[in-house]
Amino acid sequence: MIYSALESTMRNAVEKTENLNEDHSINWNFVDADMFPKWSVLLDGETYTTMFDEIADMIVAERKEEAAAENQLDIDSILAQYPNAEQQLEVLKKDFLGM
């Protein structure tokens, strides 16, 4: 119960623009600063830190998977538009770059 509530709060916090860096990566220090005052009353520091780190790792892994899937979709759509692109690239590499 507490874990899922902490996770829900974290997921909301990482979507706030004020908790993002200029490159749109998550500023975990800001997320922690938003969450710690409330959660430090409910959890001891070690438990909070352990749960926070586990959930943060899970969120980062999910975002990496989403980014990889988006990149694959981009590659697939390009190859669909240019079905012989790989062959043409090999010709360019061989003829113009001597590879």
Which pLDDT tens digit goes with each residue over 9-61?
999 999 999 999 999 999 999 999 999 999 999 999 999 999 999 999 999 99
Looking at the chain, list the stretches that DSSP marks H as alpha helix, in order from N- to C-terminal side: 2-13, 28-42, 45-81, 85-97
| Cα-based torsion angle of the residue sequence 27, 33, 34, 38 in order, rounded to the nearest 10 degrees | 150
Q: How many domains does the chain have?
A: 1
pLDDT of residue 99: 75
pTM, entire model: 0.69
Write out the residue range of the structural domain in which residue 23 sits. 2-97
Supply 61's token pair.
């892994």
DSSP 22: T
At residue 73 the predicted structure's pLDDT band, cuts being 50, 70 and 90, is low
